Structure 1
Amino acid sequence: MRLHRPLKAVLTSCATLLAAAGIAVTGGGAAQAATPLPQHVFAPYFEAWTGESPAALARQSGAKHLTMAFIQTAVAGSCTPYWNGDTGMPIAASTFGSDIAAIRAAGGDVIPSLGGYAADTTGTELADSCTDVNQIAAAYEHLITTYEISRIDLDIEVDSLDNTAGIDRRNKAIKLTQDWAAANGRSVQFSYTLPTTTGGLAASGLAVLKNAVQNNARIDVVNLMTFDYYDNAAHNMATDTQTAATGLYDQLAKLYPTRTAAQLWASIGITEMIGVDDFGPAETFTLANATTVYNWAVSKGINELSFWALQRDNGSCAGGAAADGCSGIAQNTWDFSHVFAPFTSGSGPVTNDFSVALSPAAGSVTAGAGTTATVNTAVTAGSAQTVGLAVTGAPAGVTATLGASSVTAGASTTLTVATTAAAAPGSYPLTVTGTAATGSHSTTYTLTVQGTGGGGTGAVVNGGLEGGSLAPWTCQSGGGVVTAPARTGGHALLAAATSGQTGECAQSVALAPNHAYTLTAWVQGSYAFAGVSGGATASTWTSSTGWTKLTVPFTTGANGTVSVYLHGWFGQGGVHGDDFSIA
């Protein structure tokens, strides 16, 4: 089982005074202002090694509570834990202190998590690394007093599940910490995050809990990682979550025979891996799955909903594999967070809702040509409903049609865009709107129409130089078309910079007035400049021995005409350009 594949990265936290960060002085035993977590809490994992601000992502996503991962020792054999095992990130107010204060000020809190896949496979999980139970307990207490937290999560998987000595030390340290907390008037919870089968904990995970019972260590929440089954079976990930949690319920009922049914469900947590998990597309947790799990969790009264990980809650790598920064499926940013967030407030079952997205979300055509995009809908809450679709915003000379006027949420259709030769060059937003009984959602397709070329009608003419002729480009002395180096095809443009000239090559291009465009050019050489002048002024440059792509955004003026150019710099030698285009 794998919860993540972390990369250590140095995170420079804002150094703040303890009081300014709202963090108590470490080492004290007296009870502080730690606030217990809500009875039902949504706390997705935050990947602490990325250098991002947990407070900023909590605010953007709407996830008020975060499980912050991970804490581990720097090397095996150590008893000193750090964030990500990075000695530059100690357990101190200087590391995440101001973020945690901001999260609390917004009504949330954090759950630090120790362990994780990297620590559990390298001997750097605290209780695997440190053989002194008292020092392990002291580290837990230091974590509690430093950040004034009310729960510690322990992510135990792979090799740590087989380390019986580490398991025993960990549970003994939990008991010592709980005794210390009780003596000092503190309320501190411990949760175990463990891998699962679709029917409940495997024997190794159950052994961790049995050892806790033997050591009189109270485990407040058992959090199941309901993903990465690696069993080569067909999976409905929502159904698997329910059978796994029900199996855990039965196991906990035997371990804790005096607990009521409500107490047993209230000691269960669920962590999903949103989108594609490490096994691959056969184990994909969808937005529809999220809604099903949410409603089921509400009905059972479980303690915690979570997922791996907050930074993955976006569709930037749709169709891809599991990754730390995206879900691998088509979705809007924060879709999963928005489904699970009401769990903290104790809201009831969600009502139906859906999303609309386009893939791709933009396209460029020459006037007279056409293009297509896929309109994707998804269930984001409740169950699938009929969604009526419409597209608006097409300018003169452009028609936009949909393959279907309505779909069932979760289905797709095609947006087809056609243009005539009379379509004016420019960028145009086409709005696709989905409407259902519960409301409507819209998304935008950005269409860029380019001129047909020749005579400055809206496109860079001879942008690839493949005809071997220079026109309509003009160059200063020594410049022109060359056969090498060429990025594509067999020709490129040479701008011959000398001590007395930049070697500029240029052509005039007529574009739509008062429109935003982007010039793209591939260049190489010392101080290679690409840009526009005349009706707009913008440029960028690079120095490179290989081909480098430059992009220059600009907005045309009242007449729309600009001069596109390539040049070098005085005394720096010639530069080359290829594959010029405007979109």
Structure 2
Amino acid sequence: MRRSRTVGAVLCALATAVASAGLVLGSGAGAQAAATAATPLPAHVFAPYFEAYNGDSPAALSAASGAKYLTMALIQTEARGSCTPYWNGESSQPIAQSQFGADFTTMRSRGGDVIPSFGGYAADNGATEIADSCTNVDSIAAAYEKVITTYDVSRLDMDIEDNSLTNSAGIDRRNKAIKKVQDWAAANGRSVQISYTLPTTTSGLADSGLAVLRNAVSNGAKVDVVNLMTFDYYDGAAHNMAMDTQTATSGLHDQLAGLYPGRTSAQLWSMVGIIEMPGIDDYGPAETFTTVDAAPVYNWAVSKGIGTLSFWALQRDNGGCPGTGGSDTCSGIAQDTWYFSHTFAPFTGGGTPATDDFSVAVAPGSATVAPGGSTTATVNTAVTSGSARTVALTASGAPAGVTATLSPASVTAGGTSKLTVGASASTAPGTYAITVKGAAGTLTHSATFTLTVSGPGGGTGALVNGDFESGSLGPWSCESGGAVVSTPVHGGSHALAAAATSSQTGECTQKLTLSPNTRYTLSGWVQGNYGYLGVRGDATASTWGSSSGWAKETVAVTTGSTGSVTVYLHGWYAQGTVYGDDISVTS
């Protein structure tokens, strides 16, 4: 959370900031499967944050407040560069049953559970958020798996704010690790959900928060819930906190629709989470969430089918410090103890039905072939809950010249199918993502097979996937954060996003072999500040523009003696994401 409460955690982290041996085990190797997989959370759950650094018993406060489910804050490394997670970043509080294990068991005996949360302001500010601190994706995944199996939990929360919102390498590592954990969970019959906790504006996520989710989509990491911190706006404006919650979550709903175009409105609302801060937040009295605001927010969450309702933090739910803002131990307003907990507690319900669910995986997940060649892989399905259902399999995303077939095209969950992928002699060299999807009624799951076509191959001037309608980047390559997006687009359903930040231009490239000593025209539609479209190599030419809407950029290109060029699109440092669509090279 973005709060002054992190001061204590920072001091503890500094006091214990010593080099620690990090987790070096690969995904799945760091934790043994528990005897029983965790019970999934209810479809609608109230889970306020619990400050794990102040010595309170989560089981005792859960019983006193009536909040059966708690989000446990927070887990981080003890020092920058470490890969070992600890509660509050304190090496004296390892991820072990000796830390909170008995409390969690007691809470489950009363029908509750916990959601461990990684990160928070102190970790994000001090580079001890595990994906910022640790540069090994397998070690990050192993840390997540250790928490899951040690405490037998079914959801992990990622509290990402401050510097972690602009650490593109950390964002990418985190989502890659999440994908590994999800694959591990599916292979072991576990139900594991991932929630992201992000700061918000009163109209939805800022682009930095949205970029975290875009990267998750591009890495194939499933995000189940996006929790908005509907407080600490720091915008100097007057606030009706209950109304701001409604506009912020409505904005998030629309943003999620752009990221997940195949989902219904009800499914999108179920992905939305709300985190309030009862009383006076860190900014001050202008941002005060009162007892009068609680019922409208509760009713809004119920009416929209929102998935998770929460607040920061359980220890603040009392009126012990009138007029004080941002306290760890009280709300700063006149209220009965546990007023907000009692108001929000009935939100938990809806249950998780005994759905007949399944998983899909492809092994191996990638292969390289020459033009004219072919390869095979095995599509594995498994029952993850309920009974086995018939799963219809399809393969999509293959570019021109590539075929992908499945035999059989339908299996009973638990069965396998053979994926055969072939590239014609004229297929352009590059890397292509082929999506294998399984469908059983309204349930769908997918996995990605990455095909690399080697050799010169390809026709003259054959720029591939210039309209991005394959839904994937290949054969384009991008700097961190680059992705194919569904909004904004110029034509069709997809476009390219080049993620320019303070440390990179976000360049996306594709290599081509054109005819030597020949004149071509490179053109494309570009949106954003300082959007550069050009080529380098055996020809050098570029054009640029700045436009809040789509604008066509065109430049003449004349090749030299080899015809080997690289087409590129990029933005400029700290100028924001640039979008491209319908890019072509014509003679």
- TM alignment of 1:271-282, pairs within 5 A: 271-282=275-286
Q: TM-score, normalised by structure 1?
A: 0.56
Deviation at 1:321?
Answer: 2.0
Q: Report the counterpart of residue 180 of structure 1 in structure 2.
A: 184
Question: What amino acid sits opposite 1:160 in the alignment?
Answer: S
- TM alignment of 1:182-581, pairs within 5 A: 182-346=186-350
Deviation at 1:2?
Answer: 1.3
- Residues 1:155 and 2:159 are matched in the alignment: yes
Give the Cα–Cα distance (whole angstroms) in 1 for the partners of residues 206 and 326 of structure 2. 24
Give the Cα–Cα distance (whole angstroms) in 1 for the partners of residues 126 and 76 of structure 2. 10
Matched-pair contact (CA < 8 Å) for 2:30–2:143: no
Matched-pair contact (CA < 8 Å) for 1:127–1:167: yes
Mark the runs of 5 or more structure 1 residues left unpaired by the alignment: 12-24, 348-583
Give the Cα–Cα distance (whole angstroms) in 2 for the partners of residues 89 and 80 of structure 1. 11
Q: Report the counterpart of residue 519 of structure 1 in structure 2.
A: none
Deviations along 1:497-542, one digit per CA (max 9) or x if unpaired, are: xxxxxxxxxxxxxxxxxxxxxxxxxxxxxxxxxxxxxxxxxxxxxx
* Alignment size in residue pairs: 334
Q: 1:77 to 1:10 in 2, by over 3 A?
A: closer
Q: Report the counterpart of residue 88 of structure 1 in structure 2.
A: 92
Q: 1:346 to 1:318 in 2, by over 3 A?
A: farther
Q: TM-score, normalised by structure 2?
A: 0.56
Give the Cα–Cα distance (whole angstroms) in 1 for the partners of residues 343 and 132 of structure 2. 36
Give the Cα–Cα distance (whole angstroms) in 1 for the partners of residues 324 and 189 of structure 2. 49
Query: Structure 1 residue runs of 4+, over 6 Å off?
Result: none
Deviation at 1:33?
Answer: 3.4
Match of 1:73 among 56, 72, 77: 77
Match of 1:139 among 138, 143, 148: 143
Deviation at 1:26?
Answer: 8.0
Q: 1:10 to 1:131 in 2, by over 3 A?
A: closer
Deviation at 1:346?
Answer: 4.9
Give the Cα–Cα distance (whole angstroms) in 2 for the partners of residues 176 and 33 of structure 1. 18
Matched-pair contact (CA < 8 Å) for 1:41–1:344: yes
Matched-pair contact (CA < 8 Å) for 1:311–1:324: yes
Q: Report the counterpart of residue 47 of structure 2 in structure 1.
A: 43
Mark the runs of 5 or more structure 2 residues left unpaired by the alignment: 14-28, 352-587
Give the Cα–Cα distance (whole angstroms) in 2 for the partners of residues 165 and 151 of structure 1. 24
Deviation at 1:27?
Answer: 2.0
Question: What amino acid sits opposite 2:163 in the alignment?
Answer: D
Q: Report the counterpart of residue 515 of structure 2 in structure 1.
A: none
Question: What amino acid sits opposite 1:311 in the alignment?
Answer: Q
Matched-pair contact (CA < 8 Å) for 2:47–2:310: yes
Give the Cα–Cα distance (whole angstroms) in 1 for the partners of residues 34 and 315 of structure 2. 36
Deviation at 1:10?
Answer: 8.0
CA-based RMSD of the aligned residues comes to: 1.7
Match of 2:112 among 108, 132, 138: 108
Q: Report the counterpart of residue 5 of structure 2 in structure 1.
A: 5
Deviations along 1:385-408, one digit per CA (max 9) or x if unpaired, are: xxxxxxxxxxxxxxxxxxxxxxxx
Identity of aligned residues (%): 70
Matched-pair contact (CA < 8 Å) for 2:160–2:198: yes
Give the Cα–Cα distance (whole angstroms) in 2 for the partners of residues 279 and 320 of structure 1. 11
Matched-pair contact (CA < 8 Å) for 2:30–2:145: no
Matched-pair contact (CA < 8 Å) for 2:195–2:227: yes
Q: Report the counterpart of residue 365 of structure 1 in structure 2.
A: none
Q: Report the counterpart of residue 360 of structure 2 in structure 1.
A: none
Structure showing greater radius of gyration is 1
Matched-pair contact (CA < 8 Å) for 2:4–2:326: no
Matched-pair contact (CA < 8 Å) for 1:223–1:269: yes
Deviation at 1:345?
Answer: 2.9
Q: Which has the higher contact order (CA 8 A, sep 6+)?
A: 2
Matched-pair contact (CA < 8 Å) for 1:5–1:117: no
Q: 1:4 to 1:171 in 2, by over 3 A?
A: farther
